[in-house]
Amino acid sequence: MPFRQGQGEPEVMLVTSRETKRWILPKGNPKKNTKSFMVAAEEAFEEAGLKGRASQKPFYTFDSIKRLKSGKQVPCRVRVFSLAVKKQAERWPEKGERERAWMSFAEAAHNAGEAGLVLLFLELAADPEGALARLKPLGLAAKGKSKSKPKSKAKGKLTPKDPPKTSKAKTKTKKKPKSAPAIKPEPKSKTKAKPKTKTKTKNGAA
């Protein structure tokens, strides 16, 4: 489900199907050795010319019926991934086969050609702001996990506090032995050095 923040409210892009021209979401079949959210992102570009970041997990699932070119109808289960659109191309592989249009959630609910999509868009239209909050975290799940790194920074803050404590303790222990012998010779030096201090002050004055 490609989405963006429109003027005043969120918008989703729907495309028309090839056979019946119903308004649907860009979608495709699962592929071997390819993750589902990557397949969804590829289909969004091939069918609608959109590029962005797809959520790694589906946020909605509904049952639908796929009409084949032969006319046969096949029941299927659709898993919907959100796609935060960043670029919209003017040319794309299936441009001549489909139409595309940005719609509000309410407009999408009115135009969608699948009952499961109608229910989804009605739910999103009831709370547009909550809908964005519901969709964006899925697209940013990988980044959200990396935000746990500040914990290591917190540990780093604790380490510099330890050295000052040890350095203070060392300075205190060093000052005590120096101050003890320094205090004892002071009275002896004062008595002997009295005449010398007078000569120093005279020289300093000159």
Please write the tens of the pLDDT for every residue from 78-129. 999 999 999 999 999 999 999 999 999 999 999 999 999 999 999 999 998 8
State the amino acid at position 159 in one-letter form.
T
Q: What is the pTM of this model?
A: 0.65
Residues whose CB is less than 8 angstroms from the CB of residue 169 and which lie 6 or more positions away in sequence, other chains included:
none
Helix or strand run (H / E) with residue 174:
helix 150-183
**DSSP designation for 19:** T
- pLDDT tens profile 16-71: 998 889 999 999 999 999 999 999 999 999 999 999 999 999 999 999 988 877 88
Q: Which CATH number fits domain 2-146: 3.90.79.10, 3.40.50.720, 1.10.1060.10, 3.40.50.2000?
A: 3.90.79.10
- 13, 6, 11, 16: which is closest to 95 by C-alpha? 16
pLDDT computed for residue 108 by the predictor: 97
- pLDDT tens profile 155-172: 444 444 444 444 444 444
State the amino acid at position 194 in one-letter form.
K
pLDDT computed for residue 137 by the predictor: 55
Residues facing residue 60 across a β-bridge: 80
